[in-house]
Chains A and B, each alone.
Chain A
Amino acid sequence: MKPSSPLLELFYDLRQYGFQHLDIDALALLLRALEGGYGLENIDAFERVCCLLWAKNQEQQEKLKRRMGEFRQALEKSRHQSASIPLDQQGSTNVSEENSIAEKAIKTQTDTTQKIEQNPAPKPSEIQLSPNQALKSLASVDKPEDIEAILSEQRPVRHPDYLPLSRRDMAKAGHSLRLMVRAGAATELDMEATWADYGRNGGIIVPVLKPPRIKNQAALLLCIDHDGSMVPFHIFGQRLLEAALEGRFSRTECYYFCNWPHNWLFHDPGHRDATPVDEVLARIDPASTCMVIFSDAGAARGGLSRKRIEATREFHRRARARAVRFCWLNPMPKSRWAGTSAGEIARFLPMVELSPSGLDAMTRILLGSRPGSPALPLPDGKP
């Protein structure tokens, strides 16, 4: 369906361009602001109010201004068109979906600023919407079912973040990967410990203190397979790293390898600078470090490589010898693992697919309980 007002059109347009946080509340908030007389002096004021309410950082402010730019251009364009079309016909003019912003803009203009029609060349920023008329057209979202329909409608998403797994999903996984410990000076009364002591001391109260601050102790060691069949998944690898750096780990390290982690892990995707695997493993604190391998394990091309399986087994053995928390994240769906090296590798180490549920399973595996683990690790040396 087509939005019934230019405001809804803009709202929907923004939702498609990365403003997924815009919901009915956000729309209602803008309508309240308009009702209060904010943002009605001219299109600039309207843009400012939209920025204040709907943009949440500078990047979004710029983005919103660009989307508004199209809206302004449509206004400008409509000025010429509206001069040749009698006013009463404009409402019934059929335009294609692509031009709907322009069409709505025409309606805004004709509905609200008939004075402008007589003016030969007004700039959009000079259009003085009279508050009442503008409010009438801009805030003409009086049918809630319109909003509901728009929010539930499936239109192609145009913003570039369209991938099966959003940044938000990855950030969520990063946030839930936490091993909380108390840190800092003990200044807070530990009630339970104090009462336990009270019983032991025979009625003498000696306060027991604990540190008040709870800190995430988890460290992340990310190893990304970067070559060959992994090329299509580079964007995910990059985003995993971004999410990891944004997640508040006590320490985040990222290494790269090719096909399977061998004796060396590289600091850069170009494989220029390397550190021996044993050194990397020796440096980390196994109790708090979560090691995540991002690789298709041969599932992308298919095929069964004995060499790959054995080399991976050897790598996993070394990691397990350090008792590090370990999980393999596979960008290929689980249904494609069977009959490939990935299927074999998933038999002896915990492997999950890169999907929201896969990331949940990864968190559970890394934090201790292993319900999502495909198979319990077998003793070394057995297939």
Chain B
Amino acid sequence: MTDIIKYTGDLQPNSNDKDQRGRPLKPYLPSDELIEAVNLAIYLNRPLLLRGEPGCGKTRLAEVVAFVLGLDYESWHVKSTDRAVDGLYRYDAMGRLHDSQLAIQEKRQPKQPAAFIDKGPLGKAFEADRRTVVLIDEIDKADMDFPNDLLEALDELSFTVRETGQTITAKHPPIVFITSNAEKELPPAFLRRCLFHYIEFPSPDKLEKIIRAHFSGTTDDLVKRAVEKFMGLRERMDNAIGGSAKKVSTSELLDWFKVLIKDGDEYAKKLLEQENMAYQSTLIKRLEDLPKKSP
């Protein structure tokens, strides 16, 4: 059995740490429940299905867990046209046909179909020499058969490349995070095998901690006031007739705070004292959510 890896949530990336695409990695403050869910998913070798409001950090979790645990990371941002097999491998039939027409064969030999197989994120994770964190982002965007088609590979931890007949078995079980926006209901057979966690919106205290983790050097007073103002807006959206279709999220709070402090803390405080929301375009995305002007 592989060693039990434990995620604690304490370790945070430094300002110098970069993600795969070279962008700086930001801090991530998970709740205790989320930490427990991650550890249980790792321990039981089951995919962890994450749901929650947009912008609550579903997608970012996988990368941060990979970074903190020092594991490799593969991400698969599902598109509506994706099929389950695309995450395992892609077969370049066109390339092979093209190469077979050439008088001089290049690197890839058309007689060897294996040369025309490109592994997908899950395929790469299966072949890796150590445990890999795999993110399957927005699984509900794909067709209804997609999750069930993935099941066999995730259950058996192996798949067969049809074009070559080769069976690839995972050397180490990948740690799989799946996010869903609940746009479509996922099939029961798939849900049965997943652990489910709903990421709740953070409490004001937690929001303050999150801001302080992202923007070191800001005064506690400013952070507190900004969160108060932000929560006021969220509450107003909550109380709007029928509830607003989209409530402001943690990621929008961070964007807003970034522009708020760009001209210094003192100026930011002044902006917060105004009745109107400063830089509201970072928070309010719908006409209906704009504050009503008195006649």
- Interface residues of chain A, those whose CB is within 8 Å of chain B, are 21, 25-26, 29, 32-33, 36, 38, 45, 48-49, 51-53, 55-58, 61, 168, 175, 184, 188-189, 191, 194, 205, 207, 212-215, 246, 248
Q: Are B43 and A52 in contact (CB under 8 A)?
A: no
Interface size, chain B (Cβ < 8 Å): 31
Instruction: Give the segment of B185-193, B237-245, B287-295 that binds chain A.
Output: B185-193
* B residues less than 8 Å from A215 (CB atoms): 143
16 extra interface residue pairs, beta carbon distance < 8 Å, beyond A38-B43, A205-B100, A213-B143:
A21-B188, A33-B43, A38-B36, A45-B36, A52-B37, A52-B40, A53-B195, A55-B196, A56-B188, A56-B191, A57-B51, A57-B182, A188-B93, A213-B81, A246-B185, A248-B184
- Expressed in whole angstroms, the minimum distance between the Cβ of A374 and any Cβ of chain B is 31
Q: Determine if A58 and B188 form an interchain contact, defined as CB atoms under 8 angstroms apart.
A: no
Residues of B181-227 whose CB lies within 8 A of A: 182, 184-185, 188, 191-192, 194-198
Complex formed: what's the CA distance from A189 to B182 in Å?
33
With contact pairs A21-B188, A246-B185 given, residues A38 and B196 touching in the complex (Cβ less than 8 Å): no
Q: How far is the CB of A191 from chain B (nearest CB, A)?
A: 7
How far does the Cβ of A341 sit from chain B's closest Cβ, in whole Å? 38
Bitwise, B1-22 to A at CB < 8 A (1) or not (0) is 0001000000000000000000
Q: Within 8 Å CB of A36, what residues of B? A: 4, 40, 43-44
Q: Are B198 and A52 in touch, CB under 8 angstroms? A: no
> Which B residues lie within 8 Å of A184 (CB)?
81
Once the chains are docked, how many angstroms separate the CA of A49 from the CA of B80? Answer: 33
Complex interface: chain B residues within 8 A of A58 (CB): 51, 198
CB distance from A321 to the nearest CB of B (A): 33
Interface string of B233-267 (1 = CB under 8 A from A): 00000000000000000000000000000000000
Q: When each residue 166-193 of chain B gets 1 if its CB lies under 8 Å from chain A and 0 otherwise, what string results?
A: 0000000000000000101100100110
* Set of chain A residues within 8 Å of B51, measured between Cβ atoms: 57-58
CB distance from B96 to the nearest CB of A (A): 9
Q: Enumerate chain A residues within 8 angstroms of B97, measured Cβ to Cβ.
A: 189, 194, 205, 207
The answer to whether B191 and A33 have CB atoms under 8 Å apart is: no
Tell me whether B191 and A21 are in contact (CB under 8 A): yes
Contact: B40 with A189, CB < 8 Å?
Answer: no
Contacts of A55 in B (CB 8 A): 196
Cβ-defined partner of B94 (8 Å) among A21, A53, A207:
A207
Q: Is the CB of B94 within 8 A of A26?
A: no
Contact across chains for B93 and A33 when beta carbons are under 8 A apart: no
> Are the CB atoms of A205 and B101 closer together than 8 Å?
yes
Distance, CA A246 to CA B183, complexed state (A): 10
List residues of chain A with CB within 8 A of the CB of B33: 48
A168 B40 Cβ-Cβ under 8 A: no
Least CB distance from A47 to B in Å reads 11
A194 to B40 alpha-carbon distance, docked (Å):
50
**Could you say which residues of chain A place their CB within 8 Å of the CB of B4?**
36
- Interface pair B144/A175, CB less than 8 Å apart: yes
- Interface code B23-44, partner A: CB below 8 Å = 1, 0 otherwise? 0000000000100110110011
Q: A248–B195 contact, CB under 8 A?
A: no
Minimum CB–CB distance from A257 to chain B (whole Å) comes to: 29
Q: How far is the CA of A290 from the CA of B185 in the complex (A)?
A: 23
Q: List chain B residues, Cβ under 8 A from A45.
A: 36
Q: Mark B144-177, 1 if CB is under 8 A from A, else 0.
A: 1000000000000000000000000000000000
Nearest CB of A to B32, in Å: 9
CB of B46 closer than 8 Å to a CB of A? yes
A49's partner among B40, B93, B100 (CB-CB below 8 A) is: B40
CB-based contact A52/B197 at 8 Å: yes
Contacts A21-B191, A26-B192, A189-B97: A214 and B44 contacting too (C-beta < 8 A)?
Answer: no
The 4 closest A-B pairs by CB, nearest first: A189-B93, A56-B191, A213-B81, A52-B195
Q: Which residue of A lies closest to B41 (CB)?
A: A52
A323 to chain B, nearest CB (A): 28
Which residue of chain A is the closest to B96 with respect to CB atoms?
A189
CA distance A191 to B162 in the complex (A): 14
Tell me, rounded to whole Å, the shortest Cβ–Cβ distance linking B265 to chain A: 39
Q: Chain A nearest CB: distance from B144 CB in Å?
A: 6
* A191, B195: Cβ atoms closer than 8 Å: no
* Distance between Cα atoms of A52 and B185 in the complex (Å): 18
CB neighbours of A212 from chain B (8 A)? 81, 83
Q: Is the CB of A61 within 8 A of B94?
A: no
- Measured between beta carbons, the chain B residues less than 8 angstroms from A188 are 93
Q: Collect the chain A residues with CB atoms within 8 Å of residue B94's CB.
A: 189, 207
Give the Cβ gap from A109 to chain B, nearest Cβ, in Å.
Answer: 24
Most B CB atoms within 10 A — which of A38, A45, A53, A188?
A: A53
- The answer for the CA separation of A74 and B18 in the assembled complex, in Å, is 52
| CB of A211, distance to nearest CB on chain B (Å) | 9
A25–B143 CA distance with the chains assembled, in angstroms: 27
